């Protein structure tokens, strides 16, 4: 199961996206799922937001493997369950993700994974375990005060994770179960369906043409929600809007 780290990391990074500094996000400034607090823990308290924005893949891989994958003993978990626990750890913390796993397999919920939890996980029904973890995760997220800001994107992420993890457990290609969601990056001068979606979300005239008014409204919305106010609608903006997972 050690072979799964790179696959699972790739899966998580697709969900985490790029830079975000949303005022309502309790994690604060985040780059590809790594918060400034976590980055400083690994590389020094003097690290700045700009340092975080420039983080390389090697540093990312070290943080994810050491801080999340190894902490949750994901190498010892069944295929699919490892992905579910890892993704939950990145999104909500290792201790909480382990507790969701322990609840799903009927182990004591102390947030520290050990031989008993591993044994129960390996002998349990992987599909039921994956569903149990995801259901608890959604319940936790829905109770957060930030659900109105991030809820749509969070729910899409958990639902896609559940489908991919079950496919992995069953030995199937996750892409056959939940293909990556397609979207178009749009900016001033573009037109089409994705422009219309953005305009509808912003509550402005949805004519499908990305003009100056759309750009101005989008920049205002991005700045308000802690995103780079570049007037371009791409992966991070769509996720914050809940238009994609």
pLDDT tens digit sequence for 45-71: 999 999 998 999 999 999 999 999 999
User: Any idea where the domains of the chain sit in the sequence?
Assistant: 4-177, 193-241
From the candidate CATH numbers 1.10.10.10, 2.40.50.100, 1.10.3720.10, 1.20.141.10, the one assigned to the domain spanning 4-177: 1.20.141.10
Nearest to 133, CA basis, from 192, 187, 177, 74 = 74
pLDDT tens for residues 210-238? 999 999 999 999 888 778 899 999 877 88
The overall pTM is greater than 0.75: no
Is residue 105 within 8 A of residue 129, CB to CB? The reply is: yes
Query: Is pLDDT above 90 for 31?
Result: no
Alpha-carbon span 227 to 127, nearest angstrom:
36
Helix, strand or coil, per DSSP, at residue 112: coil
Structure tokens given for 39: 């980055």
Mean pLDDT, rounded, for 89-102: 94
Give 20's strand partners. 30
pLDDT of residue 210: 96
pLDDT tens for residues 161-188? 999 999 999 988 776 544 555 778 899 9
Q: Higher model confidence: residue 27 or residue 200?
A: 200
């Amino acid at each position: 199961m050690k072979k799964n780290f790179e696959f699972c990391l790739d899966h998580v990074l697709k969900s985490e996206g790029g830079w975000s500094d949303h005022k309502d996000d309790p994690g604060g400034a985040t780059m590809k799922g790594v918060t400034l607090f976590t980055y400083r823990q690994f590389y020094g308290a003097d690290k700045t937001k700009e340092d975080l924005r420039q983080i390389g893949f090697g540093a990312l891989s070290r943080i994810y493997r050491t801080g999340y994958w190894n902490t949750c003993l994901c190498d010892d978990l069944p295929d699919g369950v490892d992905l579910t626990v890892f993704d939950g750890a990145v999104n909500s913390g290792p201790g909480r993700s382990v507790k969701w796993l322990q609840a799903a397999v009927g182990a004591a919920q102390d947030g520290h994974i050990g031989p008993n939890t591993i044994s129960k996980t390996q002998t349990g029904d992987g599909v039921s375990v994956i569903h149990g973890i995801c259901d608890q995760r959604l319940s936790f997220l829905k109770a957060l005060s930030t659900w109105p800001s991030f809820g749509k994107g969070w729910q899409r992420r958990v639902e896609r994770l559940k489908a991919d993890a079950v496919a992995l457990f069953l030995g199937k290609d996750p892409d056959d179960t939940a293909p990556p969601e397609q979207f178009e990056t749009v900016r001033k001068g573009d037109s089409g369906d994705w422009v219309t979606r953005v305009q509808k979300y912003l509550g402005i005239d949805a004519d499908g043409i990305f003009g100056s008014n759309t750009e101005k409204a989008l920049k205002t919305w991005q700045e308000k929600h802690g995103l780079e106010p570049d007037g371009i609608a791409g992966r991070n903006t769509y996720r914050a809007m809940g238009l994609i997972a």
